[in-house]
Amino acid sequence: MPCPSQRFSQMFTATVPPSAHVKRAQALKLFDAMPQAKVQPSVISYSAAISACEKGGQWQQALKLFNAMPQAKVQPNLISFNSTISACEKGGQWQQALQLFDAMPQAKVQPDVISYSAAISACEKGGQWQQALKLFDAMSKHTVSPNFSYLQCFVAERRSSLWRDW
């Protein structure tokens, strides 16, 4: 039988997986209660809380949680990076999204198609079509198979040609 802190941690991660339909406030309240219950938040609980922020459109809170991970001695993983990049993308923060994307190799986290897609989308939304095209090119060089990112890049490129021709 798991100890109380293990049960609390299991309850949190079972209740708030990255794709959960739980309201952000409820997820964060549960996350905030972990230390009081003497439960050390894990990369899974951080990632779930960041994902809840991302889905709730709270890029600042997602970034705050992500930045708190090292102090809590929790190493960000692919999911926490991707959720934070996506939160920044949805919040129109292309610079923040690129900073996070660029920090992935240093953290020994290999970007995947979701990482590239979110970063490309952030650039496209920010009107940074040249950066979006660079990311798309880098994605193919790193043998990451493009998906929707291709369409985003195409749209960014088409917009750029309209800007140049205007």
Q: How far apart are CA 92 and CA 31, in angstroms?
A: 26
Burial 1-39 (b: 16+ CB within 10 A, else e): eeeeeeebbeebbeebebebebebeebbebbeebeeeeb
Reported as a single tens digit per residue, the pLDDT across 122-137 is 998 999 989 988 998 8
Of the spans 9-23, 47-61, 91-105, which averages the highest pLDDT?
A: 91-105
Give 8-11's long-range contacts (Cβ < 8 A, gap of 24+): 8/34, 8/37, 8/39, 9/34, 9/39, 9/42, 9/45
Closest CA to 97 of 69, 137, 74, 126: 126
Q: Identify the pLDDT of residue 7.
A: 44
**Across all residues in the chain, what is the average pLDDT?**
81
Q: How far apart are CA 124 and CA 73, in angstroms?
A: 34
Reported as a single tens digit per residue, the pLDDT across 17-30 is 444 444 667 777 88
Question: Do 89 and 123 meet the contact criterion of CB atoms below 8 Å apart?
Answer: no
Domain boundaries, the chain: 1-93, 111-166
Closest CA to 84 of 114, 106, 127, 39: 114
Q: pTM here?
A: 0.76
